Homo-oligomer: A and B are copies of this chain.
Amino acid sequence: MKHGQISSKELSDFIRERATIEEAYSRSMTKLAKTASNCSQLGTFAPVWDVFKQSTEKLAACHMELVRKLQELIKEVQKYVEEQAKNHKKTKEEVASTLEAVQNIQSVSQALQKSKENYINKTLEQERMRKEGATQRDLDKAGLKVKKATETYKSYVEKYANAKTEFEQRMTETAQKFQGIEEEHVLRMQEIIHSYCQSVEETHIQIGEVQEEFVKNMENTSVESLIQKLAESKGTGKERPGNTVKSLTHDDPPFSRCTFWEKNTFCLQLFLYCIFFLF
């Protein structure tokens, strides 16, 4: 029963350690999501980092959810530990009479042994005196001692028989009570473990869903769509710039009043020049 109490504390510690591990993992995942969000927002690949960020944040959330469930479970285990302590105390009081029966058979057994040895000694002493031809008076004395030893021995044999019956009866009851307690204990532990398994299982399923979603999002992010996105964000227009050369008149305006297309071509040229320069 003592080990039963130890085992429930150990189970509580085990679950707590698991919760700590999951929490560390969750926090690391949150940090990883931040890494993804800090990745370059430029370039064709940039939109993909959002998918990484969301997915990683969801994974972090799954593991944190497991932490929460395990912490709830630990509270239950704690309750059981307290309950166990109370029950053991109560049981100790209930089996006090069995303890008495054990102590009794112990002491009676010792006394029986002593009285037996005493009986043997006295009997042997009598025999010895007879062989050595002792006086009738001494033989009578010895005879009395043997008689007394015999009576003592007999009484302890009877006492022992009673003590044994009492012991066996109480022991059987108590052993059954103890077995019931152990069975109850193991059942409770198994219930706790079942809860533990369920929580871990649920988290596992959620993680699977997050990963499936990630794969799907990646599949939906086609090469074409990314190129398109880049072109739309960086492009200057869908029409090829028209001919900027107009007929020569004195009304030809200065540059600030150039057409949109003339400006566009110039901007495009500047932009591309800059690209090349950077490249």
Contacts and interface: CB of A to CB of B under 8 A. Distances in A.
Interface of A: 1-4, 6-7, 10-11, 13-14, 17-18, 21, 24-25, 28-29, 31-32, 35-36, 39-40, 42-46, 48-49, 52, 92, 98-99, 102-103, 105-106, 109, 113, 116-117, 119-120, 123-124, 127, 150, 153-154, 157, 160-161, 164, 167-168, 171, 179, 182-183, 185-187, 189-190, 193-194, 197, 200-201, 204, 207-208, 211, 214-215, 218, 221, 223, 226-227, 230, 240, 244-245, 248, 250, 252, 254-255, 265-266, 269-270, 272-273, 276, 278-279
A45 B7 contact: yes
Nearest to A92: B279
Contacts of A250: 120, 123-124, 127
Contact of A48 (B24, B44, B189, B244): B189
Nearest to A8: B45
Contacts of A52: 14
Given A7-B44, A116-B252, 19 more contacts: A3-B40, A3-B44, A6-B40, A7-B39, A7-B45, A10-B39, A14-B39, A14-B52, A21-B25, A24-B25, A102-B273, A120-B250, A120-B254, A154-B248, A164-B265, A190-B221, A197-B211, A197-B214, A204-B207
Contacts of A106: 269-270, 273
A17 to B, nearest CB: 5
Contacts of A119: 248, 252
- Tell me whether chain A's interface is mostly helix, strand or loop, or mixed: helix
Nearest to A172: B240
Contact of A3 (B43, B103, B168, B189): B43
A211 B207 contact: no
Contacts of A214: 197
Nearest to A44: B182
A5 to B, nearest CB: 9
A248 B211 contact: no
Contact of A103 (B39, B252, B273): B273
29 contacts: A2-B43, A4-B43, A4-B45, A6-B40, A7-B39, A7-B40, A13-B35, A14-B32, A14-B35, A18-B32, A44-B185, A45-B185, A45-B186, A45-B189, A98-B276, A102-B269, A105-B269, A116-B252, A119-B248, A171-B272, A179-B227, A183-B223, A186-B226, A186-B227, A197-B215, A201-B211, A204-B204, A204-B208, A208-B208
